[in-house]
Amino acid sequence: MTEFLQQLINGLAFGSILALIAIGYTMVYGILRFINFAHGDVFMLGAFAGFYLAPKIAAILPLPSIAGGIVVLLASMAICAALGVVIERFAYRPLRRQPKLTMLITAIGVSLFLEYTGQFVFGAAPKSFPPILPVYPIARLGGLSFNSNQLMVFSVTLFLLLALRFIVLKTKIGTAMRAVSFNPEAAALMGVNTDVVISFTFALGSALAAAAGILWAINYPSIDPLMGILPGLKAFVAAVLGGIGNLPGAALGGLIIGVTETLVSGYISSTYRDAIAFAVLILILLVKPSGLLGKKEIEKV
């Protein structure tokens, strides 16, 4: 039982990080109806931004410390938000009226560009991420270990998801986002500046990916330029699993993938862990083709 609980906690921590990345996929899909393949690499850049910022911030604030860690997190989110806006502006916006597949190929190009540039600039060898948060063991109940880093993952994820919910549901720009996702032409006719809304969506999604990158690096402190590929893919699976375009669905999908993957690799076979996410996805889509919380699209003739 203890071992099961331990696995569950690990799975939920992994799942929370996937959920943060998945939300970026799903938000962009909801608005532009295209898969932003470069999103996993923004996650990677988030971790690297933290890696290079940490020594600079250590000059002002003591590291590891809670305040310092949060500053690193926020700074990396800001950098990636700007990067997301730049990517959208130069790589995707010129193609907005073209078939979605061309945008997909540019996204693949951007993804390759970020990976190869990362290997060139940061070096291909893995780097060890500096400790930016103090680690306290919180609970040691009958062999169950639960430390402050995992608590940090849960609390940051929860806070960011609540903030996102507030932005999307209560603010003016959030209303505009929902309007554009519902019908971009009608929203534009109602005076919504769709360009600004799309830029904002990319900024928001990329900031969440950066936060995921930092949280990932805190828990698994070895980062390399290709680290975004697999988590990006799994987060994308999570977004589809929950019903792509649906925000709570992406969070739910992330948690499901994270927990199943951890439990399967703990109890059945760890070498099959990378296939689990896909197996779960295929099983669920066979039963519910539009994902768990996705709306069934009615075909109009």
Considering beta carbons, is residue 161 or 244 the nearer one to other proteins? 244
Q: How far is the CB of 104 from other proteins (least distance, A)?
A: 8
x/- track of binding to other proteins for residues 225-254 (CB under 8 A):
----x---x--xx--x---x----------
- Name the residue with tokens 């193609």: 95
Q: How far is the CB of 291 from other proteins (least distance, A)?
A: 8
Of 261-280, binders to other proteins (CB under 8 A) are 269, 271-272, 274-275, 277-279
Q: Is 215 in the site for other proteins (CB under 8 A)?
A: no
Q: Is 2 in the site for other proteins (CB under 8 A)?
A: no
DSSP β-ladder status, 137-141 and 127-128: unpaired
- Contacting range for other proteins; rule: CB under 8 A; set: 75-83, 91-99, 142-150, 188-196: 91-99
Of 3-32, binders to other proteins (CB under 8 A) are 29
CB of 70 within 8 A of CB of 63?
A: no
Q: Is 286 in the site for other proteins (CB under 8 A)?
A: yes
Q: Is 293 in the site for other proteins (CB under 8 A)?
A: no
Q: Is 45 in the site for other proteins (CB under 8 A)?
A: no
Terminal-residue alpha carbon distance, the chain = 54
Q: Is 85 in the site for other proteins (CB under 8 A)?
A: no
Of 143-202, binders to other proteins (CB under 8 A) are none
Q: Which amino acid is at 126?
A: P
Q: How far is the CB of 239 from other proteins (least distance, A)?
A: 9
Q: Is 282 in the site for other proteins (CB under 8 A)?
A: yes
Q: Is 105 in the site for other proteins (CB under 8 A)?
A: yes
CB of 107 within 8 A of CB of 32?
A: no
* Residue from 74, 85, 95, 263 binding other proteins (CB under 8 A): 95
Q: Is 222 in the site for other proteins (CB under 8 A)?
A: no
* Residue from 24, 68, 225, 291 binding other proteins (CB under 8 A): 291
The footprint of other proteins on this chain (CB under 8 A) covers a number of residues equal to 43
Q: How far is the CB of 293 from other proteins (least distance, A)?
A: 14
Considering beta carbons, is residue 60 or 298 the nearer one to other proteins? 298
Q: What is the 3-state secondary structure (H, E, C) of the chain?
A: CHHHHHHHHHHHHHHHHHHHHHHHHHHHHHHHCCCCCCHHHHHHHHHHHHHHHHHHHHCCCCCCCHHHHHHHHHHHHHHHHHHHHHHHHHHHHHHCCCCHHHHHHHHHHHHHHHHHHHHHHCCCCCEECCCCCCCCEEEEECCEEEEHHHHHHHHHHHHHHHHHHHHHHHCHHHHHHHHHHHCHHHHHHCCCCHHHHHHHHHHHHHHHHHHHHHHHHHHCCEECCCCCHHHHHHHHHHHHHHCCCCHHHHHHHHHHHHHHHHHHHHHCCCCCHHHHHHHHHHHHHHHCCCCCCCCCCCCCC
Q: For the chain, what is the radius of gyration of the CA atoms?
A: 19
Query: What residues make contact with other proteins under the rule CB under 8 A?
Result: 29, 35, 91, 94-95, 98-99, 101-102, 104-106, 108-110, 112-113, 116-117, 120, 229, 233, 236-237, 240, 244, 269, 271-272, 274-275, 277-279, 281-282, 285-286, 289-291, 299, 301
